[in-house]
Structure 1
Amino acid sequence: MLTVHHLNNSRSQRVLWMLEELGVDYELRRYERDARTMLAPPELRAVHPLGKSPVLTDDALAIAESGAIIEYLVDRYGEGRFSPPHGASPARVRYNYWMHYAEGSAMPPLLLKLVASRIGKAKMPFFAKPIARRIGETLQASFIDPQLKLHLSYIDAELAKSAWFAGDTFSAADVQMSFPLEAASQRAGAKDLAHIHAFLERIHARPVYRRALERGGRYDYAD
């Protein structure tokens, strides 16, 4: 039996979406973030040593990392759907690229932006707060925001070429890319770019996407 160890407001949501697209039965175990730290609860360490979500268990097998989980699900249950055939076709190369780009390139500057925005809000002596705030603001202005602009402009230009990331057909690469673009729409103005905005509208309009939201619970990034 497939079990998704699901954390609210997290990458785990796209695993639920992928499962709903596949039409596979699964069990959902919910975990809630600590309201103060926003970290995952310690109970997740009983499932995986890193204590992160998502984790998928399939009988005795435990798989972490959303990209690895999605690839496993598509390979096992897809029956040729949601990914181009294996090989060196342009569509497969493009599919593999976006599956890895989502976490390897798109997410790091978004995570840095989140961390930098919190530097000035951390607990510290009052006299250090202006210095910390200035460090965070400088880091964002000089490095993080230019990087985000570069990546988002690139993604928007790529989506101008085709409706979906691997070409003209919806695939698991679109599921994988959903979280960075949803996060960027909240933190970095991605929804102001026409093709990214249209992509987000397309995925949010999918009935299966809405069904995954109903199962997963609170997910602020879909707004």
Structure 2
Amino acid sequence: MPENLDELLSEIAERVQQMSDNLPPKIEVAAVSTSAKIPFKFICFREALLWRTEELARNALSLIKAQELLGGIVLTRCVSESAAAMWYIMEKINKEVDGVHDPNLDDIAMKMLLGDKSNSQVPDPVNVLTVIKHADKAIPGVEKQYAALCEYAHPNWTGTMLLYSKMDEDNYRTDFGRYPRGTKNSALIGLSSLNMTLAVFQHAYNRVSDLMPDFVEKCEAELK
């Protein structure tokens, strides 16, 4: 994983461009399965998640490059949630292919597709911390990195005083401004997190493609 800012910027830009170049305009039901509905539901969520993640990552990168660090890091936190959600559905599909059937698989698909905490007429969503913890089991450090991004997103010390103030102890005062302590450390945190979460997202996204033929076969066999 690259460690300096220029290498990170270049690698992230390449990842984002790959995503931008492969945004799907549509998915035909028959192209997935003519009988099983669950694979189509997972594929629809996967592609919507790609569209979401591409927009978030593209704008996160743009903001950090422009040294609008807080906005870029907050969007990076959103990207990490998307990456964890992609990992979560990849794991569910992988287990089915490996012969570990989950009788609640359709419920999970519906929660991912339609989950909304504010609407009692639809399923509750899968909690974001649930998908973060699932990803962390496979990739230790995901949860810790997410927690660090949350400190920027919340109006805690990191998201307020660290970014916008600096103590002048000689003159007994606090000075305020845009990143008076400098930008390098926060930019490095944002970019390294963005690069890692995009790598996780892309791996899980591509793995779902590899698993899908066998997953469709398993789901169709369940119907019979």
In proportion to residue count, which structure has more helix?
2
Q: Which has the higher contact order (CA 8 A, sep 6+)?
A: 2
Q: TM-score, normalised by structure 2?
A: 0.29
Which structure's CA Rg is the greater one? 2
In proportion to residue count, which structure has more strand? 1
